[in-house]
Each structure stands twice: as C-alpha cells, then as structure tokens.
Structure 1
C-alpha cells in the first residue's frame, strides 16, 4: 500500500490549513456583510412603516376635517334645536343663520356659544305683566252698562 497517498506532507497540510483559514475568513466577512445588510433592511422597513403610519394619520386627519366641515353646520343646528327644546322656547327659522360661527377651529360645536344664543332668545318680560297696566279683565262691573233692560228703555 501506498502510504504517501493517505497522509499529507507538511507542505500539503500547510496549504490545506491556509485554504481552511481563507474560507473561514471569507465566511466571517460574508456573515458580517449579511448582518449589515439585514440591519439596513430592518432600518428601511421601520422607516417605511413610520412613513406609512404618518401618511395614514395625515389621511385620517384630512378625512376628519372634511367630515366636520360638511357635518359641522348640521351638528350646530341639532345642538341649537336640542338646547331650545330643553329651554322650552321655539326658534322659528334657522334658514338664514350662519352655523359656521358656532364651530370651534377644530370643527366641533361650541356649546357655550349656542347656550348664549338660546339665552338671548329666551327673553322674559322686563316687568311683571300683571301690575299697573290698567284693567286686565272684568274684575268689577258697572251696573249701568250691564243692565238687562234695552238701551232705549234706560234713558226714558
């Protein structure tokens, strides 16, 4: 049997060890590159997700603003009617009222301002209506005016 074929010489073993070290070094380099690329990919994904969330939040805010711009006057009208009903007053015509003046800058109903409107419409008389205004009804009778005889017979 040939003993030279199975046992490497010192030059061959040095070359094999050098080849092993070379591949280990390349493997470590590739692993470092893979980790760097993975970190870069994760950072890009996070940035993309953050931008997507930011864009979604912006779309939500714009949709809310548009909805409040459209529905705000109707909400104000409903609030006016509700507060008027609670105060037991009747508001006859709301067609010519600018409901936008009752909206806050955020687009919500300014309930305090609506309350001021209702209070201004809920006017009570300044003076009591049953004092000092003269005769208010038949509290006394004049006998000559309320006679059962005919008028021509009274003066004969």
Structure 2
C-alpha cells in the first residue's frame, strides 16, 4: 500500500518533542512523496485559552485550522517540513483528543497516523497515554507511536 497521506497529531503536550515528531514524519513522508496533515486537536478549554492568548475577536468566526496554524508547536513543525521539502497541510479541531484524531484520520483518508508520547517508568512502559491508546485502537490505518525523550 502506497503512503499518500500521513496524519501527524499534535496537542498541548507535544512542544517538548516537536523535533522527534517532525523527524518521524519526514522519515515516513519524504521517501514516499506523501503529504503530512499536521493536526492540532484542542479541547474546548484549550481552544478558549488559545483564543484569549492570541487576541482573537471572541464575537468573530474563528477557524480552528487558522488557530492551529498560528500555534508555536505547529509553526516549529512546518518550518522543519519546509526545510525538508515535505508537503503539508494544517488542520485544527476542537473536542476530545483521541476521538477527533481518529475522525481527522478518516476525513483525510490517512494511510498512517503518528502520535507522540512520553517515556514512562519501567512499570508503565507497557501502557500508552489514553489519547495514544484510543488512537491506536480506533484509527482506520496503522499508527506509529513516537516516543519523546
């Protein structure tokens, strides 16, 4: 199966592992000539917080894709993709992380999903975070877990 679309899911906890996520996406996308869909999912509270911080007009129409594109972690990742010559799109979504990542993967017909996570204690290494676990169990395609340092 050819890889055409890779969904890279990022959230609030991914700022400290942006480099690892970017490299993982580039390593998969570049040889295949695939497009990376960089998806930032916000909970309702996270979205409201970002809207306040970015000084949007609260009465205006606010596009989650635009908010995602302005997010620092997303800008760092898109800079890496530009440097590597990897095509990408930015998508934003508001709602439960795992559920929305799976919905975006279905919507863009992703061939692979990349999600990040933290290194866990020896006892916790067999357990992924709840978002990563939900995505792995429900995604319509293979999922790669990118472990941060």
Smaller-chain TM-score bracket: under 0.3
> Normalized against structure 2, the TM-score is what?
0.19
> Normalized against structure 1, the TM-score is what?
0.18
Higher helix share: 1
Which protein shows a greater Rg? 1
